[in-house]
Structure 1
Amino acid sequence: MSGDDRQNEDDRQSELAREHKERQAKRAADQTAKARRNTFIGAGVAVVVVAGGVFAATTLVNREPEKVSAESTPSASASASASTEPSVTPSAKTGPVTCTYKRETSVPNKFVGLPGKKPNMKLKKMTIALNRGNVVIDLMTDAAPCSVNSLSFLAKKKFYDNMKCHRLVTPDVSGVHLLQCGDPQAKADGKNPTDGQGTAGYVYGDENAEIPLVKGVVFMTQAGDAVGQNNSQFAISLSDENTQLDVGYNVVGMVSEGMDILLGLAASGKDLIVNDADITGDGGTTAPKNPVIIKSITFK
């Protein structure tokens, strides 16, 4: 092999090594970004990954909304935007609505029955009475009738009464800012590895899943990249920073009163019991040092 050939071969090997190193760096960056995304939201129905935090209430994936029927039959069309700022536009359903709920027994649950198939389309407001004060939500019932129907049913059954909200995260801890509630089994102590797995023992489909998660948006959570696995858990977005993530979660309404209460729950990670497994997606949740407790939820 001539000197030029050897030089060319050396150059080629160097180029291959450089490309290999770049690929490794890109994979590492992708994994870091994925881990960061996966610290957002989850709720416990993807039983396949119980040990990994995908199921343990700590996962949201960057995803586009899949058109899984919310088990409600009418077609969607645009409707007026919510009355709070920043505004979002729900996709209203027209005509009669029928909801379908499927029993789910393979996860920890507190079963109080299945909601009826016909939602009350007249419900306009949901009030969450917390131990810190009341939070009022303007509902998007026309766009999310089956989600609102489920929440209303559970509230009437006192399912949420005296329940601790198991997850509170701030941007400095996980890159997003939200309060998550609805696990009847949660200890909300920042240590329990199964916090976020509990449900009401049934699941239902997706609807109104094209709303960006701006501050004040209230939405149902489900594990990982699951679709049609909504249950009793819901979250409230506490920052516009959450819009960095793709849409794809059932939005039920917007906070119209009490946002100051929610924003006062935690100024930063110093107000939280940080669970590293929450951040990595290995189970359990970061919780508020000062417990956030739902006294009751009412609708009108």
Structure 2
Amino acid sequence: MASSRDRQRKLARAKLDRQQARRAATAKRRRQVQAGVGVAVVLALIVAGSAWALGAFDSDPTDQTALDNEVCAWTPQDGNANTSLKDVGLPPTADLPTEGTRPMTITTDQGTITAALDLAVAPCSAASIDHLAGRSFYDNTTCHEITEEGALRCGDPSGTGIGGPTYSFYNENVPTGTPEASASPAPEGEPAYPKGTVAMIGTAPGANGSQFLLFFEDFDPEEPTYPVIGRITDGLDVVEKIGDLPTVEDAVGNKVKPETDVTIQTLTVGQPGQDTAPASPDAG
């Protein structure tokens, strides 16, 4: 029996020795790899430093000018993942107007609505709408929702609430209560979204595309989320009339769809400086 126990002890000792040897070899290889990576990083830094000193990373003056003139950034969206998106290319990013207003004319089967898009606070929203309008993106589409907030929601060719172009862009001019640098407070005593306001609405907060809101009632939430992009200058009475339409359930069961289809026949955007004077909130 003593001989058997000795043999078991020897086998166990040999197994332990082999395990320790494997651990030691593994640790050695790890140290070697780490040392190699460290040397590679140092060499890369030396090469990069030399290249920088020689001007290899200096921007081409033309490229730098283009970067300096960039106003907007567009984030691509996957049209395969969301088949409600429509690919009409990307708007320009640079040399966009950032002063004054641009007129937007929405001709619907219920009447015509005009608005002034504010280029100073929402240049990218204006650039996006202009780009889409120039490609007939909005033509013959429906305003698919009369919201509980007192606004008409338009701009989704699919009528689903998740449609738009194959790009999105950030919030520009959300009223007080949001972290955006461009957020601007509403005048004292005035709601964040007085009737007549034109605002963007994203398929997700901060992911704006083509959809917009036309407010026919004052709306003053504690935490505003919609970027204000302009004001209705004529045809507020048309929006108010649409707001009085009865609603039925939409595809997901929300009673927000106008019982009578509200169709945008055409939507056009004019040049900066045309009919730029915003109307008062009660303009019709």
TM-score, normalised to structure 1, is 0.57
2:88 pairs with 112, 116, 119, which one?
112
Residue matched to 2:151 = 178
Task: Say whether the 8 Å CA contact 2:151–2:243 is kept in structure 1.
Answer: no
Residue matched to 1:98 = 71
Residue matched to 2:257 = 287
The 5 A counterparts of 1:52-67 are: none
Residue matched to 1:251 = 228
SS at match of 2:125: helix
Distance 2:144 2:201 in 1: 13
How far does residue 278 in structure 1 lie from its aligned partner after superposition?
5.5
Larger radius of gyration: 2
For 1:136-163, what per-residue CA distance to the aligned partner results, in whole angstroms no more than 9, with x for missing partners? Answer: 1122111100010000000001000111
Distance 1:236 1:246 in 2: 19
| Unaligned segments of structure 1, at least 5 residues | 1-94, 187-194, 280-284
Q: What is the aligned residue count?
A: 183
SS at match of 1:286: strand
For 1:155-190, what per-residue CA distance to the aligned partner results, in whole angstroms no more than 9, with x for missing partners? Answer: 001000111111113xxxx3x21100111112xxxx
Cα gap change, 1:243 to 1:179, in 2 (>3 Å): same
- Asked if 1:272 corresponds to 2:247, the answer is yes
- Asked if 1:156 corresponds to 2:123, the answer is no
Alignment-mate amino acid for residue 114 of structure 1: L
The 5 A counterparts of 1:184-223 are: 184-186=157-159, 195-210=160-175, 212-223=192-203
Residue matched to 1:298 = 268
Alignment-mate amino acid for residue 264 of structure 2: I
Distance 1:264 1:161 in 2: 21
Distance 2:139 2:121 in 1: 26
Distance 1:136 1:246 in 2: 28
Task: Say whether the 8 Å CA contact 1:266–1:272 is kept in structure 2.
Answer: no
- Asked if 1:132 corresponds to 2:110, the answer is yes
RMSD: 2.1
TM-score, normalised to structure 2, is 0.60
Distance 1:135 1:272 in 2: 21
SS at match of 2:73: coil
For 1:224-254, what per-residue CA distance to the aligned partner results, in whole angstroms no more than 9, with x for missing partners? Answer: 5x33x111111111111x2134223221101
Distance 2:69 2:225 in 1: 24
Alignment-mate amino acid for residue 116 of structure 1: P
- Higher RCO (C-alpha under 8 Å, 6+ residues apart): 1
SS at match of 2:239: helix
Residue matched to 1:231 = 209
Cα gap change, 1:276 to 1:299, in 2 (>3 Å): closer
Distance 1:132 1:220 in 2: 22
Task: Say whether the 8 Å CA contact 1:168–1:272 is kept in structure 2.
Answer: yes
For 1:83-133, what per-residue CA distance to the aligned partner results, in whole angstroms no more than 9, with x for missing partners? Answer: xxxxxxxxxxxx955211111013221111100112234652111111111
Task: Say whether the 8 Å CA contact 2:114–2:235 is kept in structure 1.
Answer: yes
